[in-house]
Structure 1
Amino acid sequence: MLKKFFILCSGADTDILNDCSIGEQNKYAGIGATVFFTAVMATIAASYALYTVFDNLYSSIFFGLIWGLLIFNLDRYLVSTIKKRDNIIDEILQATPRIFLAVIIAIVISKPLELKIFEKEINQVLLEQKNDLTLANQNQIAEQFNPKIDELNKQILDLQSQINTKETEVNALYDTYISEAEGTAGTKLLGKGPVYKEKREKHDAGLIELQQLKTDNKTKIIALESEIKSLQKDYNTNVATTQPIINNFDGLMARITALGKLPWLPSFFIFLLFLAIETSPIIAKLLSPKGEFDFKLQDQETTIKTWTLQKVAERNLLLKTDNEINNKVYNEIADEQDVINYKRKKARELMQHQADAFLKNQKSVL
């Protein structure tokens, strides 16, 4: 039962192969088994590749089965259409486009399996890329907010500098009127005289201005700090919004790109393995000598071809002969008087009908 199934997978004519030897049947069963297991590997590879895209097990398996059936049909077609010839050059020319297509199929099948085999290494590469993208993303977003935040901080420093300057000025006025009262500076008269009073009033006025300045600037600083917090909140929101996009940077294309950053030799050997599997049925048919099945198939095809060519030749000869007979008959009756008179009568009737129709048309126009 299994042998019949693999023979069916090989695409060979079972009616002819059933009359062949056991060895010939085993050869095509082996070719069919290669075609079948290649399709199985294609199903597994496609399912994994699609799982990285859809992230759904059932959808991935469903479309993976469709892809496996497509590969199975292609491989079966490639193997079944290669026929043994009497000239090795003709066989190579016949197999060249099929081998080229088999190489493409091998690449398509091997790549998803490479992604699975080197999954841990790929994850490490993706992690490094995600970290780089995270830093780059934070820097890019910061470039949108940092200039405004720096400007607000500068304004806060300016407001604080105004308070510090005013405090220094008021402190200086305080030292001045205290020194005047102690007689250590100014008039150097001990006691609270008119000069002391003037300087004290000047200090008190400056102190009131300082208090007012502190109140006004504090309000402005609180507003600026609130604006800075709002900008920082917007920055954190943008970072939090864009981070999931970076975290999900592990799709099929990203993994293929990450695979390209790994050493190429292991991937190349895996590709060679699948290339050998994919092209082995074609190479086997090219290298094997003509077998019993090939001779019987050639006999059947040449029989049908010869019979078809004979029928076409007979139809062409029949057509040619019939044309010659018709020409001869028409040439013989062309000079008969009865035929001429009958032709003249019908021509006269036709001209009369045309004249009547023309007259009727002219009357309708007038």
Structure 2
Amino acid sequence: MTSPSQQPAVLVPYDAAGYPMLPATEAPAYVIRITRPATTPPPAAPHGKHRTRTVLALVLVALLVTAAAARCAGAGPTESPDAIVRGFFAALTARDGDQLTTYVACRGNPLCTGSGLTAGYQPPSDPRVLPTPPGTTERDKNRRTITVQYTVGGTTSTESIQMLRTRRGLLGHAWAIAAPPGTELDLRSNAHPRLRLAGIDVAARPIGDHDTATTLIGGPLDARPGPQPATFWAPPGLYTITAPGDQLYAPLETALAVAGGTDGPTTTTFTPTIRPDVLAQTERQIRDVINTCADQRTLKPDLNPAPATPNICPFHADTAYAITDTPTWAVDNYPRIALDVTDSDLVAVRTLEPGIATVTYRWTTDIVEPRRWNTATNTEQFAVAGYVELDHGTITWRP
């Protein structure tokens, strides 16, 4: 038995025998145990070839997603300004008008088509991009000047091409030709309303037309059917220009060199060539009129004596005598003429050497018979003028 001095120093009551009196405890709670069914363990990670295929598939998907995102954002490599200019001249060398639309906004221009440069066109030879001089700096990072040198028709030209960098998408950019090399063509002809330039048909503007024309680089100039109007952009090269002839004019065939670039439209006027036989036909018609006038027995021949009508006879004689008898004309020399094409599309007749006609008549101062007659002779120089036209397919001289 434990003595009181040996009792533990805790706040627990003890009974008379010296044993601790523990408090009554509650009955333990009833515990329900739920037994889970056994589950299948997860499959083991793939090994060997299966794992390799899975990794490759994930990498491929990641690359495709990255490429698509870059394309949408406009990121990625872009052509340099030099490469774009070289590509432009490569398209000219290939005579590929369709390919020009890749480098120049010229859709709608008749030369920027599959047939525009395939015939009647010689591209520039030996095109090359000249190196940028040392120390040259661009004030605008989005602009650059590319200097090119090329040869057209045996003549070497140097031209500066302005390049412009624009944003492409969210992150990228692209260089483009801001002002394409070449020139604006303004083709004019009164005799040939339609011209064939390289592989296209164009409508020539009248020579006297002073209206401002819209230059075509991209977009149609004329919505009407038929050939395109003649003011449009043309790239460097040597162009063959042709036009059919008729009874008055010989066919046209000439060459036009486009090189070096110009600040404004290049106006080219095509003067037609008169057929050689037109002069002979005109001279014959003029002589017929002169002979008919000389057959008239009057000092002032007139083939159309009606009032208010022009007198087409080129010669006449004046006399100081009131009384004369019937005169007689003789043509000593016919005039020598030339034909000139005017700006108004007329073939003008110009006298190079005047003709000579002699009139012989008698005169008197006696009023009553018998009269005393005296013989007089006058020599007259004369010129002819007028124009020549094609009247229903016939060469016709209009005095």
TM-score (norm 2): 0.23
Bigger fraction of residues in strand: 2
